[in-house]
Structure 1
Amino acid sequence: MLSLLIIYPGVTYVQALTAPGAATFAARTADWARQMGAGPVVNAVENWYYTRHPPANSAPNANAVPVPVGSTAPAGDLANAPAPLLTLPGGLHGEGAWAPGARTAGGQPADYTTFLRPDPAHTSVVAAVVAFDQKWTGLHLIAGTKEPGGHWPEGAQVPDALRPSLLATFNSGFKFRDTPGGFYADGQAGIPLKNGMASLVIDKSGVADVALWGRDARLTPDVAAVRQNLELVVDGGRPVPGLSGNPAGQWGSAKNQFQFTWRSGVGVDAQGRLIYVAGDQLTLTALASALSTAGAVRGMELDIHGGMVSANLFRPDIAGSSPKTLTPDMPTAPDRYLSADQRDFFAVTARAGALHAPTAAGG
């Protein structure tokens, strides 16, 4: 019996470290510890570490600011760009101003990037923002090798058929043992959907919405995919009450809302654009503030911590261009999700015929 108690943890740890799919050593170790029943210990360590390393009240690091991908030439008419964002007093160069991304055949950008500083007490904190114009883009939910579990047709990576029109990939939400929400895709429920959960809902045309399940959206024949995670953090265009208290654990384990850590979130604005936000040293309140400032009328938190937050931008309209992480300091590979990954994720593609014909870099 004693030998089993010694051998079993070692065997399961090796299995965790060698399981297929992309995941960092730290993430695999933390997941293994939680699997072994040490979740409260892991949470306590994370709370201790991330709450004791507050960001500075100073200018941000340049590597926290998005860099336009590919060509820096104008990308056509910007009349359909989102309105410039409100910024803190003494706004930085480029803060709140949208940079165009991939060009459509008509010269309109399909996506835009900018940044803002959502924490007035810690002005070094930056939230990077991407806005996807859903007239030109479609969203896809792709299951990973471990999350949500089961068998799925995409092979836990961006399918070959989507790659020529791929505009972006970004992370999904918490592991399902850490959220009561569900997962639906490819005509099957990997995890049952639950009323009251924040939900990223994709219809069969690829248009996405962020909804409170049971109030704003239900499972109808037009729904192609649903990813639920925690509860809404923005509703009616404003951060919801109670974020700093997290009284019933609606937004993860107790006190994780205070952690200065990598966080990501997604929302939709009043014009139907899909808004993705990510940054380091964001508290939950700062993330919600970033989403609402970026125009989200409803928004939800996705995943948190370094190695979990991953957003990559592509320029299929520029021949030979390479993907880039949303910000230079994002600690993940720009080609993540082009090979099998343990976690479910989202891929954004251009609609059929929407893209500008590929041009040489710089053109």
Structure 2
Amino acid sequence: MISPALKDEGTWRVLASVGGQPVMWSTSIRPLASLGSVVASAVVIDQTRLTAGLFKGTEIPGDGPWNNYKRVMPAARPALVAAFNGGFRFNHIKSGYLSEGRIVRPLIDGEATFGIRADGSSIIGVLGTDMFNDGTWTTLRQNLPPVIHEGEISIARYPGTYWGSELHNVTYVMRSAICTLDDGRLLYAAVGDVDINALAKVLLLFDCRTAMQLDINKPLPQFVTFTRPGESKRDGILLDKRMGNPNRYLNNATKDFFAFFDPALLPANVVK
């Protein structure tokens, strides 16, 4: 990290609570002394106290009908805690995709995977090593091999992998990722502008155990919490000013996204 730190830089603050108890904490840092303009915004998520869902976009994956489709449905909005972006477009990756029990693209062993079970519990892991397609998963969303696995940067193990670039072949862009920490909680990070190697260094700095790169290029990386918990009328609050429309996940998302809910407020069988 760059020293001296700016005021409040690196200080974790409560971002969201459920039942009066914190479930998400956020911070922002300048993590790389060699790249002083890079800023990393991160959120630690206690997913054990939340219900997760993958929402499908009109373009990615498209091809409905889906229950969780293009926006958080009105019945689930009072329970909505946070939402964030999914992964790459299918034309950029070969990674697998299973959701709501449907296989959209064949799953690949060795790929980083966001898994959600029928009870809404969720983990990040490597398919075939940390988790298996044993019929207990309602969602297995893959996005490239792991950036970090078992606490070590693993990029070099996957030569030839397309880790993503800007439209004009610029590799230093805003990138996002999700990882598992040593204590089992999740961490979401939006970091920019970086290449895949710098992203990996930042994720290691945050003590990621297994990390999966998500979408890249502004304004696609996006993490949003919401006003007025428990009410039907909600408005998005961006984690980071570099992010886009705060109400994207309440309106008409073209790409898939993940959302976390307060299970005490979520009606049964509304989110699949």
The TM tier, using the shorter chain, reads 0.7 to 0.9
Aligned to 2:15: 101
Deviation at 1:108, TM superposition (A): 1.9
Of 132, 135, 148 in structure 2, the residue corresponding to residue 234 of structure 1 is 148
Out of 53, 63, 67, the residue aligned to residue 140 of structure 1 is 53
Q: Tell me the equivalent position of 2:106.
A: 192
Letter in 1 for 2:212: M
Query: What is the alpha-carbon distance in structure 2 between the residues aligned to residue 279 and residue 266 of structure 1?
Result: 12
- Of 101, 105, 113, 2:26 maps to 113
Task: State the partner residue of 2:191.
Answer: 279
Consecutive unaligned residues in structure 2, runs of 5 or more: 267-272
> 1:13 matched to which residue of 2?
none
Question: In structure 1, what is the Cα distance between the partners aligned to 2:262 and 2:107?
Answer: 28
Letter in 1 for 2:129: R
| Rg (Cα) greater in structure | 1
Give the letter for the 1:231 counterpart. Answer: P
- The reply to whether residue 124 of structure 1 matches residue 37 of structure 2 is yes
Structure 1 position 260 matched with structure 2 position 260: no
TM-fit CA distance, 1:347:
0.8
Structure 1: which 5+ runs fail to align? 1-86, 355-363
1:296 aligns to 2:205 (yes or no): no
Between the aligned partners of 1:294 and 1:351, the Cα distance in structure 2 is 28
1:232 partner amino acid:
P
CA distance in structure 1 between the partners assigned to 2:87 and 2:116 by the alignment: 15
* Distance change >3 Å, CA 239–CA 117, structure 1 → 2: farther
Correspondence 1:324 to 2:237: yes
SS in 1 for 2:204: helix
**Which residue, 340, 343, 349 being the options, matches 2:252?**
340
Counterpart position of 1:6: none
Q: Using the TM superposition, give the Cα deviation of residue 257 of structure 1 relative to its aligned residue in structure 2, in angstroms.
A: 9.6
**Preserved contact between residue 166 and residue 316 of structure 1 (Cα < 8 Å):** no
CA RMSD of aligned residues (A): 2.4
Shift of 1:263: 0.7
Which residue of the other structure, out of 306, 311, 316, is the alignment partner of 2:223? 311
Give the match for residue 78 of structure 2. 164
Residue pair 1:118, 1:126 contacting (<8 A) in 2 also: yes
Q: What amino acid is the match of 1:314?
A: F
Q: Answer whether contact 1:198 1:231 (CA < 8 A) is retained.
A: yes
> Deviations 1:104-126 (Å, cap 9, x if unpaired)?
32x32111100122322112211
Instruction: Please give the per-residue CA displacement for 1:82-132, whole angstroms capped at 9, x wherever unaligned.
Output: xxxxx4432222222211022232x32111100122322112211100111
Report the 3-state secondary structure (helix = DSSP H, G, I; strand = E; otherwise coil) of the residue aligned with 2:104.
strand
The alpha-carbon deviation at position 250 of structure 1 amounts to 4.8
1:128-161 superposed Cα distances (whole Å, 9 cap, x missing partner): 0011112322221111111123211223211222
> What is the one-letter code of the residue matched to 1:142?
F
> C-alpha distance in 1, partners of 2:49/2:156?
36
Relative to structure 1, the CA distance from residue 322 to residue 340 in structure 2 (aligned partners, 3 Å threshold; closer, same or farther) is closer
Query: Structure 1 vs Structure 2: percent identity of aligned residues?
Result: 31
Larger fraction in helix: 1
* CA distance in structure 2 between the partners assigned to 1:155 and 1:353 by the alignment: 20
Distance 1:166 1:353, change over 3 A: closer
2:47 aligned counterpart, secondary structure: coil
Cα pair 1:128 1:278 within 8 Å, conserved:
yes
What is the one-letter code of the residue matched to 1:345?
A: F
Name the CA shift for 1:328/1:216 in 2 (closer, same or farther; >3 Å).
same
CA distance in 1, matches of 2:142, 2:104: 11
Q: Distance in 2 between matches of 1:264 and 1:253?
A: 13
- The answer to whether 1:179 aligns with 2:80 is no
For the residues of structure 2 that align with 1:143 and 1:353, how far apart are their CA atoms? 22
The DSSP-based 3-state class of the residue aligned with 2:200 is helix
Matched, 1:149 2:80: no
Q: Deviation digits for residues 12-40 of structure 1, max 9, x if unmatched?
A: xxxxxxxxxxxxxxxxxxxxxxxxxxxxx
* Partner residue, 2:270: none
CA distance in 2, matches of 1:143, 1:130: 22
Secondary structure in 2 matching 1:124: coil
